[in-house]
């Protein structure tokens, strides 16, 4: 449903959706981020006549996403969301770190207009690229009256930005929303919504104001057979400020690794437990030695720890 009075801004960051390969049949040996976002829009016939603006914020393979790009993207989102003539945003992104960018934007901005991330599993040069349909579907969602929050649209499925995760390495339906399931489906140009739009208060764009090089250092470590605490001790000696452990099962951690993490936490390192399981959440229980991340995946938990450390730094600076 197109709103004729308001435009949609499409922000490009690169990714597979903008990738090309020498051979049209090559869907894994391509180079990401080769085409500009304006070119992507021109190549989708269904977008002709829509009130659209395009802006290239970055041009990179999303495996190489960094804090500087996050800062620039969040600022451009905030700028365009503040314009009354803009009804929503679409962001073209790589699939590899889309879930992290989506979580960050939802937590920082929690927009009252839709901010829709979309991507592709096949490059633009493929015989049957999925990017054009994903872009068309994302614009359909961005034009939906009443839509709000950060969303991800891929393969005809709408995911909340705080919950979306990449769950397959290669196939076209590579994303899911965890236990809660999709927010909606785009079916033949129509939106079928299953649950409510994302809600909540944003932490504020000013949280991301420090120079990217000054952001806290947060790393992931994994619990597994034979794990010990040497990696934690090494990271702590190098100045790590936050750690998220990919725990086994319901947040269990190898005793040697757990002992090192407890020591690190006592020394001031922020430590959270998530689970390396593909589904489910960590359920807290009496006697837990380390705080848990609840339903957050390890990668979203890492972003949340990063944001919490930035909040603490801002409070200390304000004090």
Binding site residues for substrate, as ranges? Answer: 62, 95-96
Strand partners, 234: none
CB 24 within 8 A of CB 114: no
Interatomic CA distance for residues 307 and 319, integer angstroms: 18
Catalytic residue from among 16, 54, 97, 157? 16
- Token output for 100: 């992290």
Interatomic CA distance for residues 2 and 245, integer angstroms: 45
Nearest to 83 by CA among 41, 42, 119, 55: 55
Concerning whether 95 is annotated as a catalytic residue, the answer is yes
- Token output for 151: 């969303």
Residue entry with tokens 């308001």? 6
Concerning whether 92 is annotated as a catalytic residue, the answer is no
Angle made by CA atoms 78, 150, 305, in degrees to the nearest 5: 85
CB 59 within 8 A of CB 36: yes
Query: Residue positions in the annotated binding site?
Result: 62, 95-96
Interatomic CA distance for residues 42 and 138, integer angstroms: 15
- Token output for 16: 């597979």
Residue entry with tokens 């730094």? 313
Catalytic residue from among 95, 101, 157, 275? 95
Write the CA distances from 85 to 7, 101, 142, 143, 144, integer angstroms: 6, 25, 14, 13, 15
Which string of DSSP letters, residue by residue, matches 191-259?
Answer: EEE-SPPP------GGGG-S-GGGS--EEEEE--TT--SHHHHHHHHHT--EEEEEEBTTTB--HHHHH
- Token output for 154: 């891929």
User: What residues are annotated to the active site?
Assistant: 16, 95
């Amino acid at each position: 449903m197109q709103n004729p009075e308001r435009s949609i801004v499409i922000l490009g960051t690169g990714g597979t959706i903008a990738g090309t390969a020498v051979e049209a049949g090559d869907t894994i040996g391509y180079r990401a981020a080769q085409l500009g976002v304006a070119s992507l829009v021109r190549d989708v016939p269904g977008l002709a006549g829509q009130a659209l603006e395009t802006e290239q914020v970055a041009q990179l393979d999303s495996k190489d996403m960094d804090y500087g790009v996050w800062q620039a993207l969040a600022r451009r989102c905030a700028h365009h969301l503040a314009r009354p003539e803009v009804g929503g945003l679409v962001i073209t992104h790589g699939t590899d770190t889309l879930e992290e960018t989506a979580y960050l934007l939802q937590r920082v901005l929690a927009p009252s207009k839709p901010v829709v991330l979309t991507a592709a599993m096949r490059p633009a040069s493929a015989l049957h690229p999925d990017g054009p349909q994903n872009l068309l579907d994302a614009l359909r969602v961005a034009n939906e009256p009443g839509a709000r929050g950060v969303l991800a649209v891929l393969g005809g499925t709408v995911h909340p930005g705080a919950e979306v995760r990449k769950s397959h390495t290669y196939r076209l339906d590579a994303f899911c929303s965890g236990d809660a399931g999709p927010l909606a489906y785009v079916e033949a140009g129509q939106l079928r919504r299953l649950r409510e739009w994302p809600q909540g208060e944003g932490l504020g764009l000013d949280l991301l104001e420090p120079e990217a090089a000054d952001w806290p250092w947060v790393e992931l470590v994994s619990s597994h057979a034979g794990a010990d605490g040497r990696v934690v001790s090494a990271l702590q000696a190098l100045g790590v400020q936050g750690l998220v452990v990919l725990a086994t099962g319901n947040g269990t951690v190898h005793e040697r690794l757990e002992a090192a993490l407890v020591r690190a936490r006592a020394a001031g390192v922020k430590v959270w437990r998530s689970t390396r399981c593909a589904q489910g959440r960590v359920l807290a229980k009496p006697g837990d030695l380390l705080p848990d991340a609840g339903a957050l995946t390890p990668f979203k938990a890492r972003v949340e720890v990063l944001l919490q450390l930035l909040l603490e730094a801002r409070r200390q600076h304000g004090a």
